[in-house]
């Protein structure tokens, strides 16, 4: 596929009226490469909400990474997070909806993956916080790991009455060692051959007991419970609000956004998206650093 310039102008197959709901991924889509949101995008989101368009953020981020969004989400403050495992209300700091693994299923998956790929490190993500294998100690990943988050083995924290495991993360030993040497995990836009080999093993081991997602974290195999996805959570929320898929616009950049983009009436890829997303989208907008989502909203609101 030819390269796409972030400064290019993209024709949009816009419906005759603005959407009733806009669902947008955050990292790599709405937020700029440095994690900030531009003034133009902030104004476009506010204008959309003022015009009666529901805006929902949809992200692989866990709830603890959502607090900085409070100032940009407008009045409702609802976020589909953990790749679709939860809907989070920023105003109350509470989960409105949680879908995840049963403890028995999570324990079996961890045991089988440990046997198949010795040295794999695991993280259990719940709405009330994560649990990391102790092998992560001393590694600065995308955040500083708190001592209270570490356990000898993550499975030791199951069967203790905690909320369901929304997401199970597995990191191959080779990538764990690389993170330890570099002091930070890389986050390639397209996974490497070594990572893909690991992902193939993970797929074979988990079968239909989990779904493998990839949202851009270097080497991380992200496992969601069967039926859990950004698209499924968004569909449930839209139904609750009485909004049909045809009246939804979705924006994304990574393969874990594809089900959501396909479900929505119009699925948009930003210009910097993964090749698979660019190929599948109904429309391509400017890159995240060039306010692609804002441009599309501005065009819709001026029709």
Q: Which H or E run includes 258?
A: helix 258-263
Q: Do 168 and 210 have their domain in common?
A: yes
Q: Do 220 and 107 have their domain in common?
A: yes
Q: Do 117 and 210 have their domain in common?
A: yes
pLDDT digits (tens, 9 = 90+) for 176-218: 666 555 544 444 445 577 778 888 999 999 999 999 876 655 5
Q: Do 113 and 203 have their domain in common?
A: yes
Q: In the prediction, which pLDDT does 155 show?
A: 95
Domain that holds residue 263: 21-99+229-302
Strand partners, 165: 101
Among 28-32, 104-108, 187-191, 274-278, which is the least confidently predicted range?
A: 187-191
Q: Do 250 and 269 have their domain in common?
A: yes
Over residues 41-68, mean pLDDT = 89
Q: In the prediction, which pLDDT does 175 show?
A: 67
Express as a percent the part of the chain with pLDDT over 90: 57
pTM of the complete model beyond 0.85:
no
Q: In the prediction, which pLDDT does 143 show?
A: 76
Mean pLDDT over the full length of the chain: 85
Greater confidence, 53 or 195? 53
Q: Which of 223, 221, 222, 215 is nearest to 188 (CA)?
A: 215
Is pLDDT of 1 > 90? no
Spatial CB neighbours of 21, under 8 Å, sequence gap ≥ 6: 53, 54, 55, 56, 238, 241, 243, 247, 248, 249
Q: Do 110 and 89 have their domain in common?
A: no
How far is C-alpha 258 from the chain's CA centre?
11
Q: Do 254 and 204 have their domain in common?
A: no
Q: In the prediction, which pLDDT does 116 show?
A: 94
Q: Do 219 and 80 have their domain in common?
A: no
Is pLDDT of 3 > 60? no
Q: Do 28 and 120 have their domain in common?
A: no
Assigned domain for 2 exists: no
* Residues 176, 136: Cα–Cα separation, whole Å: 8
């Amino acid at each position: 596929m030819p390269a796409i310039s972030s400064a290019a102008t993209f024709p949009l197959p816009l419906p005759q009226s603005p959407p009733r709901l806009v669902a947008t991924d955050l990292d790599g889509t709405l937020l700029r490469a440095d994690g900030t949101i531009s003034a133009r995008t902030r104004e476009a989101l506010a204008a959309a909400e003022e015009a009666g368009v529901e805006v929902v953020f949809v992200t692989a981020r866990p709830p603890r990474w959502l607090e900085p969004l409070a100032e940009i989400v407008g009045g409702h403050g609802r976020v589909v997070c953990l790749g679709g495992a939860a809907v989070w209300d920023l105003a109350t700091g509470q989960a409105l909806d949680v879908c995840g693994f049963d403890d028995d299923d999570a324990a079996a998956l961890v045991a089988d993956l440990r046997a198949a790929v010795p040295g794999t490190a695991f993280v259990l993500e719940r709405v009330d916080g994560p649990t990391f294998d102790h092998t992560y100690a001393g590694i600065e990943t995308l955040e500083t790991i708190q001592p209270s988050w570490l356990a000898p083995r993550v499975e030791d924290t199951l069967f203790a009455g905690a909320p369901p495991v929304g997401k199970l993360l597995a990191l191959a030993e080779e990538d764990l060692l690389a993170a330890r040497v570099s002091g930070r995990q890389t986050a390639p836009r397209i996974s490497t051959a070594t990572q893909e080999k690991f992902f193939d093993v993970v797929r074979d081991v988990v079968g239909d007991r989990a779904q493998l997602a990839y949202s851009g974290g270097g080497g991380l195999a992200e496992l969601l419970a069967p039926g859990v996805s950004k698209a499924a959570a968004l569909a449930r929320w839209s139904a609750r609000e009485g909004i049909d898929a045809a009246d939804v616009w979705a924006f994304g950049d990574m393969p874990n956004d594809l089900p959501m983009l396909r479900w929505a009436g119009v699925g948009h890829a930003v210009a910097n998206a993964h090749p698979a997303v660019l190929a599948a989208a109904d429309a391509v907008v400017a890159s995240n650093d060039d306010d692609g989502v804002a441009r599309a909203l501005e065009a819709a609101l001026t029709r």
